[in-house]
Amino acid sequence: MSEMSFTSFSEDDIRRTQPALKIGLLATVTPAGLPHVTMLSTLMACGSERLSFGEFTEGRSKHHLRTNPHVGFMIMGLDRTLWRGKASYTHSERHGPEYEFYNNVPMFRYNSYFGVHTVHYLDLVAHTGRMALPMNRIIFAAVQTMVARTLARKPDGEAVFNPWTRGFMNKLDNLKFLSYVGEDGFPVIIPAIQTQCLGPRELAFATSVYSEELKAIPAGAVVASFGLALTMEDVLLRGVYQGIHRRGGVRVGLVDVDWVYNPMPPVPGQVYPATPLEAVTRF
């Protein structure tokens, strides 16, 4: 990923990552060794070498941490500046200063239904420092990807994307991020906002922005693509990275998607492959 030359957070980093209104992503590794990405608005730096996030709903990422503590993270503020890095899960607490901090944030303090019940802690390994999102280059890459999507011959195959997923991933102002497990065992998160659907099961993204990081993804690696709207809708897709190819005259990275997951409450669950309905036997 982009060079990670910082092994601690500055006081300014800590202050800037603590507002409630921000985007926090945590990439974990499943027991099968696959990348998984979760949106965590509570993710923040809580010390010079520590991060935390508050749990108020159950999710797969918390279980992954207990089988593999290696994580990748990204925190992005409303000013479109972001921090990316890697960390290791250490422990969880149900008391302490971060527990009090989270439950005094208006979102949880005045919520009648749930609050933060557990705080999870991560030791920082390294991070990139505060960096601006290169919006001009991202817009250009999004237009390039749209050209490839329009002009390229669409591959055949079973339809993995339903109409909602296709429309969501093709919307240019939705955010998208890629993740894969690096050689050191830590997941990597790369902004890939230009990502769009190409045909019934492929994702495509122009490589003209974050190009060195995208070129570093090995062909054949399992890649997760996380799509997020500011309306707090999101979707997680996963598949095999096919490398960089020309489509419609544009160099794009391609992912052959074979798994789609809905992370949104109230009922998160697998969308593709479809899971059989089971009768309710316990009440």
Each residue of 109-154: pLDDT tens digit? Answer: 555 456 788 999 999 999 999 999 999 999 999 999 999 999 988 7
The β-bridge partners of 205 are 253
CATH number of the domain where residue 87 is located: 2.30.110.10
What pLDDT is attached to residue 157? 81
Report the pLDDT averaged over residues 250-254: 97
pLDDT band at 80; cut points 50, 70, 90: very high
* Residue 72 belongs to a domain: yes
Q: Residue 277 above 90 pLDDT?
A: no
Residues 153 and 121 in one domain: no
What pLDDT is attached to residue 112? 46
Residues 173 and 125 in one domain: no
Residues 20 and 60 in one domain: yes
Residues 121 and 155 in one domain: no
Altogether, the residues listed in the chain come to a count of 283
Last residue of a domain, one of 132, 162, 193: 132
Whether the model clears a pTM of 0.75, i.e. scores above it, the answer is yes
CB 188 within 8 A of CB 85: no
Report the pLDDT averaged over residues 234-244: 97
- Cβ contacts of 17-20, under 8 Å, gap ≥ 24: 17/43, 17/44, 17/45, 17/75, 17/77, 17/83, 18/44, 18/45, 18/46, 19/77, 19/78, 20/105, 20/106, 20/107
Last residue of a domain, one of 132, 166, 187: 132
Q: Residue 91 above 50 pLDDT?
A: yes
Report the pLDDT averaged over residues 37-53: 95
More confident residue, 1 or 229: 229
Last residue of a domain, one of 132, 152, 181: 132
CB 84 within 8 A of CB 72: yes
What pLDDT is attached to residue 115? 75
What pLDDT is attached to residue 107? 61
